[in-house]
């Protein structure tokens, strides 16, 4: 029996989930040597060649082909309802997969449509539901924290002291975690990047007393490992990374490191970051719809990167996440959009 294998994971969820939920009812393929015909029974697989123990499902469903149509890319490149049937959010997302229609518009494709399922392996739908639930939760959580452009402007206008500037802009322009901001020294900056080290000696109160760090795998908190007292380490292994400097972060650190060597001279510990930010919040609370917390500012940075077409993988690297799913949910939520075309980190100040 002929088979069709799927592997795509656009923003609405992986294709196997979308097929089972009947959101995706067609696929666009390059013409086959032995073309499928209407009435053929086919097996739909999820990543057919990947070993079964390395993926959530193998056989997605068995079904009958109801339509096979030869089309040119330009005929469907700008069609939103077509894009939805194919599993994409809209035609913009579809074009990211198929390329610029100006260039590739005359490529040949076959649109294959299927009818209701003849067979779905037991348990598949349950796994799909669980997957979607986890995805919705992750999106809700992400969205909860992140300030919108108007709020960013309000918060920045409320900055009154150098310490406040350091706490707000220091996270907003770099995506730092609190601990990273506090432990930053002048020598982290080199060759156009901020290099977060994997460990440094530190005798601050928190590093002397915090003896554990969390270890996560695939987004699951798996254990706490012991870290030596008197050493600072990023929260996760992936936290040691290079963050590209932008015009704003360069300006901020030029200003600060002119008279200082370490952030700790002005902001002694992670709690002081928190309380400084909370003090600002107390002055403008009635103008904000989101809670003002350090992680919300970090989220703004991530959302801006997502908007300007940073791939999930790059985003994961820059943010120091050890889980690609976090990056994928940011990309799904915040971008890339046509509106954000040409947007830069610098537009923080002008949003």
DSSP calls for 240-292:
S-EEE--HHHHHHHHHHHTT-SBGGGT--SHHHHHHHHHHHHHHHGGG-SS--
Between residues 98 and 232, which has the closer beta carbon with respect to Zn ion? 232
Please, what is the minimum distance in Å from the beta carbon of residue 300 to Zn ion? 25
Between residues 83 and 207, which has the closer beta carbon with respect to Zn ion? 207
Between residues 19 and 194, which has the closer beta carbon with respect to Zn ion? 194
Between residues 202 and 280, which has the closer beta carbon with respect to Zn ion? 202
Q: Which residues contact 95 (CB under 8 A, 6 or more apart)?
A: 77, 101
Please, what is the minimum distance in Å from the beta carbon of residue 189 to Zn ion? 19
Please, what is the minimum distance in Å from the beta carbon of residue 211 to Zn ion? 13
Cα separation, 100 vs 158, in Å, equals: 43
Cα separation, 75 vs 195, in Å, equals: 47
Q: Which of residues 9-38 bind Zn ion (CB under 5 A)?
A: none
Between residues 172 and 207, which has the closer beta carbon with respect to Zn ion? 207
Cα separation, 323 vs 266, in Å, equals: 33
Between residues 123 and 201, which has the closer beta carbon with respect to Zn ion? 201
Closest CA to 266 of 167, 169, 334, 127: 167
Per the CB < 8 A criterion, the answer to whether 216 and 222 are in contact is yes
Please, what is the minimum distance in Å from the beta carbon of residue 270 to Zn ion? 9
| Beta pairing, strands 189-190 & 193-195 | antiparallel
Q: Which of residues 205-264 bind Zn ion (CB under 5 A)?
A: 207, 232
Between residues 112 and 233, which has the closer beta carbon with respect to Zn ion? 233
Total chain residues near Zn ion (CB under 5 A): 4
Per the CB < 8 A criterion, the answer to whether 183 and 170 are in contact is no
Residue count (the chain): 351
Between residues 202 and 252, which has the closer beta carbon with respect to Zn ion? 202
Please, what is the minimum distance in Å from the beta carbon of residue 232 to Zn ion? 4
Q: Which residues contact 160 (CB under 8 A, 6 or more apart)?
A: none
CA 174 to chain CA mean position, Å? 16
Which of 131-137's residues contact partners 24+ apart within 8 Å by CB, and which partners?
131/13, 131/14, 131/17, 131/56, 132/13, 132/17, 132/21, 135/13, 135/329
Per the CB < 8 A criterion, the answer to whether 236 and 322 are in contact is yes
Please, what is the minimum distance in Å from the beta carbon of residue 326 to Zn ion? 25
Please, what is the minimum distance in Å from the beta carbon of residue 166 to Zn ion? 16
Q: Which of residues 57-116 bind Zn ion (CB under 5 A)?
A: none
Between residues 234 and 312, which has the closer beta carbon with respect to Zn ion? 234
Between residues 45 and 232, which has the closer beta carbon with respect to Zn ion? 232
Cα separation, 87 vs 27, in Å, equals: 9
Please, what is the minimum distance in Å from the beta carbon of residue 162 to Zn ion? 21
Q: Hey, what are 242's tokens? A: 């290079």
Q: Which of residues 180-209 bind Zn ion (CB under 5 A)?
A: 202, 204, 207
Q: Hey, what are 44's tokens? A: 């739909």
Please, what is the minimum distance in Å from the beta carbon of residue 194 to Zn ion? 17
Residue 44, interface with Zn ion (CB under 5 A)? no
Please, what is the minimum distance in Å from the beta carbon of residue 173 to Zn ion? 22
DSSP calls for 131-165:
HHHHHHHHHHHHHHH---HHHHHHHHHT--SHHHH
- Binding residues for Zn ion, per CB under 5 A? 202, 204, 207, 232
């Amino acid at each position: 029996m002929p088979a069709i294998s799927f592997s795509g994971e656009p923003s609405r969820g992986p294709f196997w989930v979308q097929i089972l939920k009947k959101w995706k009812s067609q696929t666009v393929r390059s013409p086959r040597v032995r073309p499928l015909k209407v009435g053929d029974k086919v097996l739909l697989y999820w990543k057919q060649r990947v070993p079964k123990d390395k993926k959530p499902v193998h056989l997605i469903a068995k079904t009958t082909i109801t339509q096979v149509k030869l089309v040119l890319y330009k005929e469907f490149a700008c069609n939103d309802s077509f894009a939805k049937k194919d599993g994409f959010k809209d035609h913009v997302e579809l074009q990211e997969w198929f390329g610029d229609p100006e260039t590739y518009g005359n490529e040949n494709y076959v649109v294959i449509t299927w009818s209701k399922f003849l067979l779905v392996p037991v348990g598949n739908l349950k796994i799909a539901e669980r997957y979607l639930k986890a995805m919705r939760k992750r999106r809700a959580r992400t969205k909860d924290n992140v300030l919108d452009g108007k709020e960013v402007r309000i918060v920045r206008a409320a900055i009154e002291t150098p310490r406040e500037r350091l706490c707000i802009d220091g996270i907003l322009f770099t995506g730092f975690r609190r601990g990273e901001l506090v432990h930053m020294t002048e020598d982290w900056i080199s060759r156009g990047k901020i290099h977060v080290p994997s460990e440094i000696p530190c005798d601050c109160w928190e590093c002397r007393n915090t003896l554990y760090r969390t270890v996560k795998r695939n987004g699951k908190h798996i254990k706490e490992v012991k870290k030596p007292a008197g050493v600072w380490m990023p929260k996760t292994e992936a936290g040691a990374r290079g963050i590209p400097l932008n015009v704003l972060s360069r300006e901020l650190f030029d200003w600060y490191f002119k008279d200082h060597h370490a952030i700790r001279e002005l902001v002694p510990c992670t709690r002081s970051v928190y309380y400084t930010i909370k003090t600002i919040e107390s002055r403008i609370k009635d103008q904000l719809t989101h809670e003002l917390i350090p992680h919300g500012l970090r989220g703004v940075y991530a959302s801006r990167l997502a908007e300007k077409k940073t791939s999930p993988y790059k985003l994961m690297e820059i943010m120091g996440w050890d889980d690609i799913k976090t990056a994928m949910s940011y990309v799904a939520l915040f971008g890339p959009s046509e509106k954000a075309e040409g947007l830069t980190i610098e537009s923080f100040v002008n949003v």
